[in-house]
Amino acid sequence: MASIRKSPNSTFWQAVLTLEDGSRTNRSTKQTDRRKAQDIADTWQRTLDDGRKGKLVEGQLLKTFNDLLVRVGVTEIRDVTVEDWLTKWVSGKDESTAKRYGHSADVFMRFLDRKAKGPLEAITYNDILGFIDSRQKEGVAPKTISIDVKSLNNAFNIAERTQIISNNPIKHALAIRPIKIETSEKHPFTDAQVRALLRVAQGDWKTMVMLGYYTGARIGDCSNMQWRNIKINNGITIIDYIAEKTGEPVVVPVHPALESYLQNLRQKSQKNFICPTLAGKGTGGAHGLSSTFSKLMVKAGIDAPKIEGKGLRKFSPLSFHSFRHTFTTNLGNNNVNQETRMALTGHKTESVNSGYTHLNLPTLNAAIAKLSTMNEDTV
């Protein structure tokens, strides 16, 4: 005999069913009458206990659900598959977000194999734990696994809120086994290394180095920055942009050395983008921005050997992303507090609900002024 329960947020009884792997799942009976709800739950549990496996069980179970619901005069359950739902979820995102979420969806469905064609409701916390285990065995870095699981959690949360599923199995899985993140550590550049990069960099790459050093922005944000992102607010020149990775707004006051550099550059430019030859280019691949910057480091005499990271692949502790570490390290060394550093890099602290809104521009500007000025001959 199956049990039934009622959620505080719903008027309907839920059937608590035991699946073949021993895990339990809830399915709304769409009934307010306790007796009818119990009848439905018992029928569903008997179907599960028949011993069929895989897709056959799911298909037979769904058919039984619907037959019973029709008999009691309610709407049939929609047969939303994992593949259908994740595909629809990804398609509703913008291009950059869809690329990131699409990868998480693809690796999850590859793990599920044929079960990806089955009902979304059939996914249990054991499936999520199995997915995490499989990624760990592949040697994937914990941070990457966490990103995949957080992405999928977004999809399952929406499905739960829209009553496609009765509960989110990822929340249960993470409550049982949180993912411990160990990030492969990047190193900051020294001022001498930044000057060496500026001496050998040409054209837009010199601009990229200047933007990276003085704003701490990621490589993609620097390459796609436009002149319209540079504004004047209360007499302070700022760079106001949306971080591609997080979708969060970031405001960074412009250091006098960067402002002088950009003013000279603006007089010669007729383009919308500050770095027009690099705008729109991808970061990965043999000819991507990251690889090109690695070659620039070699030209500048900066040794950046590959070392073992937290994941399966080796990584270099020095890359364009090191400018973010350089930026926040230099601010910290000049006694700029963590909250201000977080605001300037676009990270959120627990005490900040909406970016940097309560930090006024003079405070941010005073922090930026503490950064070292590169030698004139290198700029």
CATH number of the structural domain spanning residue 264: 1.10.443.10
Whether residue 24 lies inside any domain: the answer is yes
DSSP element (H, E) containing 343: helix 338-345
Asked whether the predicted pLDDT for residue 57 surpasses 50, the reply is: no
- Measure the CA–CA gap between 259 and 242, rounded to whole angstroms: 20
- Does residue 136 surpass a pLDDT of 50? yes
Task: With CA atoms as reference, report the closest residue to 327 among 379, 367, 285, 293.
Answer: 367
Report the CATH number at residue 166. Answer: 1.10.150.130
**Confidence band for 355, pLDDT divided at 50, 70 and 90:** very low
Q: What pLDDT is stored for residue 67 in this prediction?
A: 60
The tally of domains found in the chain comes to: 3
Domain limits for position 125: 82-176
- In this structure, are 143 and 116 located in the same domain? yes
Residues 6+ apart with CB under 8 A from 1: 42, 45
As a whole number, mean pLDDT of residues 123-143 equals: 88
Q: Which two tokens stand for residue 166?
A: 């009765």
Assess whether 67 and 89 both reside in one domain: no
Q: Which of 51, 80, 83, 78 is nearest to 65 (CA)?
A: 78
- Predicted confidence (pLDDT) at residue 108 exceeds the cutoff of 90: yes
Query: What mean pLDDT do residues 313-322 have?
Result: 74
For the entire predicted model, the pTM comes to 0.52
Asked which of 140-149, 175-184, 199-208, 366-375 is least confident by mean pLDDT, the reply is 175-184
- 240 and 266, same domain (yes or no): yes
Which of 149, 176, 203 is the C-terminal boundary of a domain? 176
Higher pLDDT among residues 53 and 242, named by residue = 242
Give 356's pLDDT tier (boundaries 50, 70, 90). Answer: very low
User: Rounded to whole angstroms, how far apart are CA atoms 96 and 316?
Assistant: 25
User: Are residues 105 and 99 in contact, defined by beta-carbon separation less than 8 angstroms?
Assistant: no
Give the dihedral of Cα atoms 305, 289, 356, 92; nearest 10 deg: -120
In a domain, 319, yes or no: yes
pLDDT bucket at 164, cuts 50 / 70 / 90: confident
Residue 103 inside a domain? The answer is yes
Closest alpha carbon to 201 in 295, 276, 117: 295
Residue 131 lies in a domain: yes
For residue 266, is it within any domain?
A: yes
pLDDT, position 352: 31
The radius of gyration of the chain's CA atoms, rounded to the nearest angstrom, is: 27
Same domain, 143 and 236: no
The rounded mean pLDDT for the chain is 80
The whole-number pLDDT of residue 305 equals: 59
Instruction: Convert the pLDDT of each residue in 26-36 to its tens digit.
Output: 878 778 888 88
> In terms of domains, do 66 and 119 share one?
no
| pLDDT for 309 | 47
